[in-house]
Amino acid sequence: MKKIVWLLSLMLFATIAQAEWMLPKVFSDHMVLQRDMEVPVWGWAAPRERVQVSFQGKSYTARADKEGKWMLKMDPSPAGGPFTLKITGKTDSKTFQDVWMGDVWMLGGQSNMEWALKNTNHGEDSIAVADFPHIRLFEVGRNMSLTPIKDVPEASWSICTPESVANFSAIGYYFGKQLHLEKGVPVGLLDINWGGTLSEVWTSHEALSSHPDFAERMVNFQTGPVEGFDPSDKRPNLWPTSLFYGMLEPVIPFGIKGALWYQGESNAPRAYQYREIFPLMIQDWRKQWGQGDFPFLWVQLANFKAPKEQPEDSDWAELREAQTMTLSLPNTGQAVIIERGEATDIHPRDKWTVANRLYRTAEKVAYGKDVVYSGPMYKAMKLEGNSLRVSFDHLGSGLMVKDKYGYVKGFAVAGSDRTFHWVTGRQDGNDILLDVSSISNPVAIRYGWADNPDDVNVYNKEGLPLNPFRTDDWPGITYGKK
């Protein structure tokens, strides 16, 4: 009997020890690790267990803490592969094959980032030739949690093939393909998004608790009933922090080159608030990753909905303004696609242009290349008789108006009565001259200030559009909304 009890105890101990051994799914065969930086590796073992990691002829050791969590950082190494990564503990070991060093980009946001390659313009043609063994895809399945979890339920790395890429993020694929072909390095794409979501669901409890609009809501949010929230309703929009913990945190601090972000449609009704909570999210991610101010690039909202006959306020315009204001953070960039949307579809099918403009931005922000990565940005205005002269930064090789006579569209001007009127204008060198002869005391300009300013036509000669702007700071329709 004693022998049976001893055997049962031994089996139970072995089962518990085995259960304690765990590695996150972001480590698997076919993965890409970030080149030229220390590479974090982590997992779980028995408390105080010693773990050894072997990679490229080097060995690293770590000891699990009292909760069983361990982490170490491997030495930087250049692009290359394939390599083998072996992780060994007292009770178990794991070997990962076909591991490459390259550039890893995180893809985040809502449905336009999630949008599958097969559903885009020329998607089937792109899929047919998407045979890139050195582009690797990692998709995190949808999952919600209000508290930290060790790992996501569903996720895996795969090699980019026509079969694996068809349902993958179109923007992510086009960006990764251009990066791979032009830089000649392996590319890893971490696809972590969910359609219809708000930025606050991708932000940690700690960060949101620091914002006055969310601080009260965050009290006991993770541990008890929340007034106005039904736990049976699994819509993440109702649960701030739910996707940060359910999908994002489990891959932190996997080494990345930077992040691509396409989101904001769902936050448009609270665009003024987005001025604060969008940069809060970016800063939160950078803090959580512990990788410094890594490049963070986003897509400004495209034009959408029916065009308006007269100038008027717009929550989408105010959201775009909030996105542009976030460029004040270091190592950030914005892809403007104000002319690439579709009036009747919130999901424009041209994802190649979006990815290409993101790549241009990455060339400058992430890779330090001297390229024209932005369209013109408003600089100043000056009244000259019956004209307003408007000047710009980021002109590239010069201003360009897509009109054979040089006449501009999409500009509205207001006098001190704050009523905007469409105005005509023309290109004058690298400036725009607006005719304000019919407006008494002109004081403010708006350009592309609408849900769908379908008539904007100002670019630089590199083909990048003028960023929508306004010169006034009069309270908009989302001012004060929480």
pLDDT reported for residue 11:
35
Of 38, 67, 97, which closes a domain? 97
The total domain count for the chain is 3
Please list the pLDDT of the chain residue by residue as tens digits (482 residues).
Answer: 444 333 333 333 333 444 479 999 999 999 999 999 999 999 999 999 999 999 999 999 999 999 999 999 999 999 999 999 999 999 899 999 999 999 999 999 999 999 999 999 999 999 999 999 999 999 999 998 888 999 999 999 999 999 999 999 999 999 999 999 999 999 999 999 999 999 999 999 999 999 999 998 887 666 555 555 565 666 777 789 999 999 999 999 999 999 999 999 999 999 999 999 999 999 999 999 999 999 999 999 999 999 999 999 999 999 999 999 999 999 999 999 999 999 999 999 999 999 999 999 999 999 999 999 999 999 999 999 999 999 999 999 999 999 999 899 999 999 999 999 999 999 999 999 999 999 999 999 999 999 999 889 999 999 999 999 999 999 999 999 99
Of 320, 344, 365, which closes a domain? 365
Same domain, 291 and 436: no
Same domain, 77 and 125: no
> Is 476 contained in some domain?
no
> Is 82 contained in some domain?
yes
pLDDT reported for residue 454:
85
**Please, which contacts does 362-365 make with residues 24 or more away whose CB atoms are closer than 8 Å?**
362/175, 362/179, 362/258, 362/295, 362/297, 362/333, 364/333, 365/258, 365/295, 365/297, 365/331, 365/332, 365/333
Of 306, 339, 365, which closes a domain? 365
CATH of the domain at 31: 2.60.40
> Is 229 contained in some domain?
yes
Residue 424: which domain range? 377-466
In one letter, which amino acid is 304? F
Same domain, 93 and 208: no
Same domain, 295 and 434: no
Using DSSP's 3-state secondary structure scheme, residue 181 falls into: helix
Same domain, 69 and 129: no
Same domain, 216 and 289: yes
Same domain, 152 and 281: yes
Same domain, 255 and 339: yes
> What does the alpha-carbon distance between residue 441 and residue 378 come to, in Å, rounded to a whole number?
21
pLDDT reported for residue 229:
55
> Is 77 contained in some domain?
yes
Same domain, 353 and 391: no
Same domain, 341 and 404: no
> Is 354 contained in some domain?
yes
